[in-house]
Chain A
């Protein structure tokens, strides 16, 4: 069945360093979405990627969708303490499958 793998599971970075999380799907996706969940909170939608090779930016966040529409990445430049949380990808084929998330911890 459809699977979405997300790595790494945890990431500790010094404030100001960059951070990247990766998602890989076992099937070709129609789109992929990214969500952020703050500690104790609920997932909040960040962005959706639809086109092969698509790249979108939101301030310090850069999202990419692979050419084969089976992988995606989220890159944060110069992390800040407000970036703390868990980042989830969700790949949609015939249904939406969430990755297990990458928990980002910022060291001051």
Chain B
């Protein structure tokens, strides 16, 4: 949705390679989230952050890492420890004071070569 960008749209990873997915928002939202979506499946939470320089593991954090050095940015690194990284990765942000609505970025499709 408007205000959240993800890049690249498609990403190819070689075996043993770390790759970083970008997520930027200009909505001044405090909270940001990373989800993984597999074909025909729902969204599973990887990591989330509610404040700069702080983040928490979600349900499937193994093989992933994040950072939150700026309020606007929440990059996700898919490490070589993630053995099945092929999926659609969605970033979302949210205004914690207003609760509820998460605004999603357009997503990044990661494929393993």
Q: For the complex, give the distance between the alpha carbons of A33 and B103 in Å.
A: 12
A59 within 8 A of B: no
Interface SS of chain B: helix, strand, loop or mixed? loop
Q: How many residues from A make CB contacts under 8 Å with B? A: 22
Question: Which residues of chain B from 11 to 28 have a CB within 8 Å of any chain A CB?
Answer: none
Given the known inter-chain contacts A101-B42, A103-B40, please indicate yes or no for A31 contacting B104, CB distance below 8 A. Answer: no
Q: How far, in Å, is B67 (CB) from chain A's closest CB?
A: 21
A85 within 8 A of B: no
- Chain B interface size range: 10 to 19
- Tell me if B42 and A45 are in contact (CB < 8 A): no
- Tell me if A42 and B100 are in contact (CB < 8 A): no
Q: How far, in Å, is A90 (CB) from chain B's closest CB?
A: 8
Given the known inter-chain contacts A98-B43, A99-B42, please indicate yes or no for A43 contacting B104, CB distance below 8 A. Answer: yes
Instruction: Give a binary string over A89-108; 1 marks a CB under 8 Å from any B CB, 0 the rest.
Output: 01010011011110100000
Q: For the complex, give the distance between the alpha carbons of A44 and B99 in Å.
A: 16
A63 within 8 A of B: no
B106 within 8 A of A: yes
Interface SS of chain A: helix, strand, loop or mixed? strand
B105 within 8 A of A: yes
Q: How far, in Å, is B89 (CB) from chain A's closest CB?
A: 10
Known: A42-B105, A44-B1, A100-B42. 7 other contacts (CB 8 A): A6-B42, A42-B90, A43-B102, A43-B104, A48-B101, A90-B102, A95-B45
Listed A/B pairs (28) with beta-carbon separation below 8 Å: A30-B99, A31-B100, A33-B100, A33-B101, A33-B102, A35-B104, A41-B106, A42-B1, A42-B106, A43-B102, A43-B104, A44-B1, A44-B104, A45-B1, A45-B101, A45-B102, A48-B100, A50-B100, A90-B102, A92-B99, A92-B100, A96-B45, A98-B35, A98-B43, A100-B41, A100-B42, A101-B42, A103-B40
B interface residues with partner A (beta carbon < 8 Å): 1, 33, 35, 40-45, 90, 99-107
